[in-house]
Amino acid sequence: MTKLGSRQLEQQAHAKGWSLEGRVALVTGAVGGLGKSIVAELRERGADVHGVDIAGEGVFHADLATAAGNRDMIAHVLGKAGRLDILVLNAGCQHVAPLDQFPDEEWIRLRAVMLDGPFFALKAAWPALTKSAGGRVVVTASTASFGGAPHKVAYIAAKHGVLGLVRVAALEGAAQGLTVNAIAPGWMDTGMMRGQLEAQAQTLNMSTDEVIARFHAETPGGRFVDVSEVAATVGFLVSPCASGVNGACVSISG
């Protein structure tokens, strides 16, 4: 038997660390642009991926703004797969309005989907994740988690809160080999971004094309971040390669 060369050994080690074969993953917000890309990335790496969203085809439907909805989705995956190793909490929504005109119901809805929901999901999934050998959690935060932006009070507050949730969960799960991290994407060309263009244009007294140009100008590369770039980062964070990364928020902003 011939010995493997150092390069071959390196390639084998890399492939082993990259693979998610035998792992069961749950991805929320799976119907949206970023969610679809994350699902595809994890499946390409070999994971058994279960998508969850409020509506859409090929996913489990659950209201992730509620404790019951989050419990139901975890029970659904455990009932189908018998285990849960990877939890990607990506559900999101947006509303743009000045603070003094921000509807109370929108404040409650955004906070419920993007902060309460991840807490309820983590709580429901905790026994399965800490039982898994090397459980992984990734929560979608935002570059908005690090600062403010006019007319996005609920979104900004929820995304700031996500970082606190992630850091506490990272500390509490570390002894069981669980890692909990966040990602902070910059501007991406997704349905949610397109959905707020008109409101942004009215607020800034610009055309939608001018708003897009402004978004581009806010990044050094002068372009939107592609959802595949964000999904690849998620793929790394949930892989064996990232076993030493815990309680971090990785910026993917260009």
Catalytic residue IDs = 155
- What gap in Å lies between CA 173 and CA 192, rounded to an integer? 32
Q: Which residues pair with 88 in a beta bridge?
A: 27, 138
Which of 172, 164, 167, 91 lies closest to 126 in space, CA to CA? 172
**C-alpha pair distances (Å), 141 with each of 162, 181, 227:** 6, 10, 14
Q: Which residue is it, tokens 């190793």?
A: 85
- What gap in Å lies between CA 64 and CA 17, rounded to an integer? 31
Which of 187, 165, 46 lies closest to 117 in space, CA to CA? 165
Q: Are 72 and 62 in contact (CB under 8 A)?
A: yes
